[in-house]
Structure 1
Amino acid sequence: MPDTVAPPRPESATFQVDTESMPLEQVLVHTPGHEMELVAPDNRLDLLFDDILFLGNARDEHLLMCTLFEKVVDAPGAVLQVSELLLDVFQQEDARADFIDRLCRVMPETNIQAVRHELKQLAPSELHSLALTGESPLPLRLPPLPNLMFTRDLAAVVHDRIVISHAATAARSRESIIMQVLLHHHRFFNDVKDRVITLPEGVTFEGGDLLMAAPDVLLIGHSERTSFGAIMAIAHQVFEHTPIEHVLAVDLPKRRSTMHLDTVFTFASPNECVAFPPLVDDPSYGYAVHLTEGSEPGQFITDMRPNLCDVLNDLIDRDLTFIPCGGPDRINQEREQWTDGANVFAVAPGVIVGYERNRRTFEELRNHGYRVVSAENFLSYYQDSTFTPGDEKLAIQLAGTELSRGRGGPRCMTLPLARTSIHDM
């Protein structure tokens, strides 16, 4: 199995994401741990899980994915682990105090306030356990955080800014606190802590709803997890602080199967998308509100567009190809969308990772010129050499037999902090 010891990482973070598919430089992940073993039949729905995962296999699959990223990036510190960063930052008393204070504010219905003083006496490892699993030596038990492996939803990087998520469900509210504490207190983020975009109270936003279609075009899903108020707040901030000129608010059915935009639509390369076909060909599905900056500060010009694909082709200076998730048959489309066939993660232009079980989606990728290989074969082939993207298009199959039962694909499990800028290619 891949070594779990992280390589040395750079001294400080850099935020830089201006498209979805430029070569990956650094990514934040969380390999599932003991918190996953605390999902039980009686609490699984409250914890947003449809099934119970076997931790051993889930960890092995996730660590294989991390090894794949390290090979592709081939640089120290390419893969950062939330758990390691959190234990590191909890060595600081002010970071532990901030975490506890935020916890008391966000979860007033619990009895955390009554043991506030005792929480501040916990050792860093004990507070770390409480943060991830909800377990502690105190008379206090919180729900575990099995969804933390879906790090995409913690935040989203837009150019050199990072937008902190506001979880839509109580089961994930502690994840946002963890991300805030890391960004505000970990020395790794010292140089970029002034680039954090914090959303107002009362709105909800999760990072799976945000996609960088082009350096000046931002897509945000209006889903069951992201409110329109959050989209407006993000638009205001990115118009002011980044080169974004167009924000498309993409309306999605408010149901679990389409909880985020990236469950139905992702980029495989600058001009190729893997899409759940109704988003492309059903006129009642996926209309977009086109937002541009008005003449006055905080003012928006809005334009209703009936089809996401049409407006993207209008705004982006290239022709987009939409590769159907699940192939031509509607039942297969729905089956493979349910198992995250459309949720692929681009590690470089035309080099993507997806779940092996979505075989009809991989057949479509093969029809569009991709060579399909397993993650194991890819790593074996490049064991003693460096992988250089650009020679051919690759669709890499991750077994994901256990991970896929968690209802999130490779894009859901990755939060890119930096990609090669399109201006450097």
Structure 2
Amino acid sequence: MLFTKDFKLGVGSEIGALRALLIHSPDSGLGKVVPSKAQDWLFEDIVHLDTMRKNEYDHYVKLLMYFLDPGKIKGKLEDINSRAADRAFFKPDNPGFHASTKVIELQTLLADILEDTAICEKLVASVCAIEGCNYRLQQKLVATPPVELAKIFISGAITDDEMIFAPIPNLIFSRDIGIVINQHILINKPAKKARSRETLLVRYIFFNHLLFAAYRDNILEIPETVQHFLRPGEDNEGKTTLEGGDVMVVAPNHVIIGCSERTSVSGANEAIKLLFDNRVVSKVTIVKIPHKRDYMHIDTVFTQVKRNMWVLLGSLGRMEIDVETAEPIAWFGDKKSKDRTEILQFEAGKPEPKPFSCIEDLLNDISQNDLGSTEPTRFIYSGDNVFPYDSREQWTDSCNLLALNEGIVLGYDRNTKTVEAFKKNGFKVIKVTDLLQKFERDELDPKTMKDTLVLMPSAELSRARGGFHCMSMPVLRDGV
């Protein structure tokens, strides 16, 4: 079982040095997404699994290991690369798996808890209830070895040729399953049926794995509204939903929650109550963005790079004044209320929320007042703020960056105009393959790097509509 007595939870920013995170490397279920079901399973396209694994995600895991758990990779890169054909390094059911307690694979944690017979029986029964399985199949799954059962739960396949239920391909976006806020875990409440099983699996992991035993009283679950079962219809906009891509821990006392295509106003309200009642933070800012697939979560339109620097989609960042009504409207000019960007900040103990006129004003306030920046706040814009590259590159996650440390961020190599914008702001730019070799030859040290954008290959990963912020659930960061 993956376990360490020294394991700690603690995330109080988006940019503190990353020490531990949860990920899920691409599994066989991603290779079984079919065009007719792609959108139901929340994919825009089908992906080529082997390319995604070997040429893209594999580099991500190696880079994380150099930063978070170097003892398991330093001096071994050539050997690991020679075994790349069997993907032994980052798939937990292979003998060469890294088994890191810093770069933590969700599939390993799931297999661990399935070793307990009572937990296994409960979880199998719960999954079978969701998926409508018959009793004989339920008994067959209970008798399946834990490592194999974990793969089945995730991929939906009992063998390579026999699928028994849908895959859960979105599990690679581990940010959405929940978020660590200081020493608490806020579990998501997904908007789409396609994510129901992954939420169930993750809930069992957090409440039952020894890794999180010391924090079980700190796990927060979003409740449904009172008498929610009386709402009319099977699918309506009033339901309570919240996903991790809409939650950002920007300071120890401050969380941003987005109201988006995936997170409802009701979900945001319930999260505020939980966070204030449990004294997790004292300030929550709600950022309502247009409910469009283009944006999906707030981390698809902005993420933090440094204490005083953010990357964002310029068309949503600023506001202008409607000449007819003298009211602020979104830069893109859509006057429908559901397409307006609105921002309200709530503080515990204060009766009235504080409005912000635009996202840039909010981010500037965070940099200057929450994080105490001594330098002016700067913004790097998607596509260098030039149409149509701003929208094109936002679609391929130019704004969805993961900070490994302040100023050290990962992004896709395909967003060339955004890369140029980083260069204009004094950033070094390096391909991940070159960076890994420099680490191995001691030409660079992860601990001393400054202001660097690491370019990650993206032909297949970008088809899945998520960047490295989406593909990470930080569980421990240093303070800023």
TM-score (norm 2): 0.80
Query: Could you give the per-residue CA deviations for residues 68-98 of structure 1, whole angstroms, max 9, x where no partner exists?
Result: 0111124552211111221222111122123
1:291 aligns with 2:286: no
Identify which range, 379-388 or 360-369, moves more after superposition: 379-388
1:141 CA displacement = 2.1
- CA contact 1:20–1:267 (8 Å) conserved in 2: yes
1:129 CA displacement = 3.1
1:309 aligns with 2:360: yes
- CA contact 2:29–2:157 (8 Å) conserved in 1: no
- Following TM superposition, the consecutive aligned residue runs of length 4 or more in structure 1 with deviations greater than 6 angstroms are none
Residues 1:242 and 1:390: Cα distance change in structure 2 (over 3 Å): farther
After the TM superposition, which residues 162-241 of structure 1 pair with which residues of structure 2 at under 5 Å, given as runs? 162-201=185-224, 202-241=239-278
What is residue 47 of structure 1 aligned with on the other side?
Answer: 41
SS of the residue corresponding to residue 200 of structure 1 reads: coil
Q: Which amino acid aligns with 2:143?
A: Q
1:388 CA displacement = 4.1
Alpha-carbon distance in 2 for matches of 1:412, 1:312:
20
SS of the residue corresponding to residue 32 of structure 1 reads: coil
1:413 aligns with 2:437: no
Structure whose CA Rg is larger: 2
1:134 CA displacement = 1.7
What is residue 346 of structure 1 aligned with on the other side?
Answer: 403
After the TM superposition, which residues 369-408 of structure 1 pair with which residues of structure 2 at under 5 Å, given as runs? 369-385=426-442, 387-389=445-447, 391-408=449-466
Identify which range, 347-356 or 169-178, moves more after superposition: 169-178
What is residue 68 of structure 1 aligned with on the other side?
Answer: 63
1:123 CA displacement = 3.1
Q: Which amino acid aligns with 2:383?
A: G
Query: Could you give the per-residue CA deviations for residues 129-165 of structure 1, whole angstroms, max 9, x where no partner exists?
Result: 331122238x982110111111110111111111101
Residues 1:101 and 1:200: Cα distance change in structure 2 (over 3 Å): farther
Structure 2 residue corresponding to 1:31, chosen from 10, 25, 28: 25
Q: Which amino acid aligns with 2:253?
A: D
Q: Which amino acid aligns with 1:85?
A: L
What is residue 88 of structure 1 aligned with on the other side?
Answer: 112
What is residue 98 of structure 1 aligned with on the other side?
Answer: 122
1:218 CA displacement = 1.1
1:311 CA displacement = 3.1
Alpha-carbon distance in 1 for matches of 2:176, 2:360:
24
1:274 aligns with 2:331: no
1:123 aligns with 2:160: no
Specify every segment of 5 or more residues in structure 2 that has no aligned partner in the other structure, as ranges.
Answer: 71-99, 225-238, 321-328, 331-340
- CA contact 2:242–2:267 (8 Å) conserved in 1: yes
What is residue 8 of structure 2 aligned with on the other side?
Answer: 14
Alpha-carbon distance in 2 for matches of 1:98, 1:375:
42
Identify which range, 404-413 or 213-222, moves more after superposition: 213-222
Alpha-carbon distance in 2 for matches of 1:340, 1:334:
10
1:166 CA displacement = 0.9
- CA contact 2:383–2:391 (8 Å) conserved in 1: yes
Q: Which amino acid aligns with 1:36?
A: L
Alpha-carbon distance in 2 for matches of 1:144, 1:349:
36
Specify every segment of 5 or more residues in structure 1 that has no aligned partner in the other structure, as ranges.
Answer: 1-5
1:306 CA displacement = 2.6
Alpha-carbon distance in 2 for matches of 1:392, 1:140:
47
Residues 1:113 and 1:208: Cα distance change in structure 2 (over 3 Å): farther
Q: Which amino acid aligns with 1:324?
A: Y
1:345 CA displacement = 0.6
Structure 1 residue corresponding to 2:175, chosen from 131, 152, 155: 152
Q: Which amino acid aligns with 1:344?
A: L
- CA contact 1:166–1:176 (8 Å) conserved in 2: yes
Identity %: 28
1:120 CA displacement = 2.9
Alpha-carbon distance in 2 for matches of 1:366, 1:40:
39
Alpha-carbon distance in 1 for matches of 2:60, 2:295:
24
Query: Could you give the per-residue CA deviations for residues 343-395 of structure 1, whole angstroms, max 9, x where no partner exists?
Result: 01100000000000001111111111110001111111111437244552110
Alpha-carbon distance in 2 for matches of 1:192, 1:68:
28
Residues 1:248 and 1:271: Cα distance change in structure 2 (over 3 Å): same
SS of the residue corresponding to residue 475 of structure 2 reads: strand
Residues 1:322 and 1:84: Cα distance change in structure 2 (over 3 Å): same
SS of the residue corresponding to residue 64 of structure 2 reads: helix
Query: Could you give the per-residue CA deviations for residues 8-42 of structure 1, whole angstroms, max 9, x where no partner exists?
Result: 86345321110001100001111101111110122
Q: Which amino acid aligns with 2:415?
A: N
What is residue 3 of structure 1 aligned with on the other side?
Answer: none
